Amino acid sequence: MTSKYIKDEVNRLVGCELEEANKKFPMFASNHEGFAVLLEESDEARDDLAEIKINLNCVWDSIKANSTGWIAIDKIEKYAENLACEALQIAVMARKYRDSANTRLTDGL
């Protein structure tokens, strides 16, 4: 179970990352554009999770062979960190999607 501290920090990081993203890139021009960006981030997260699963299997094979499996463990750590970053990006782009849609509605676009 994720602690309240971690959830609060993630929420803070999403806000910080959204601020930076908005400085670099305009709001989404359409829901289609926002969806495409969300899909891309989701695909990247899926790929990292797939690598974690592959390396978990390697760890299990190492355990059965009475080996350490350190290489696979190191890869799991790396891909888990990447996955956390991608999950953060998904949250950022979901907020940007909502904000962009609300801006278009408010502006009558």
Q: What is the pLDDT of residues 72-108, one digit of tens each?
A: 999 999 999 999 999 999 999 999 999 999 998 887 6
| 107 part of a folded domain | no
Side-chain half-sphere of 96: how many Cα atoms within 13 Å? 31
* Number of domains present in the structure of the chain: 1
Among residues 11, 21, 26, the alpha carbon closest in space to that of 41 is found at: 21
| 1 part of a folded domain | no
| 90 part of a folded domain | yes
Contacts (Cβ under 8 Å, ≥6 apart) of 92: 14, 17, 18, 21
Q: Which two tokens stand for residue 60?
A: 């299990």
Domain that holds residue 86: 45-100
Residue 40 pLDDT class (50, 70, 90 cuts): very high
The model carries a pTM of 0.89
89 burial (CB, 10 Å; 0-12 / 13-18 / 19+) is buried
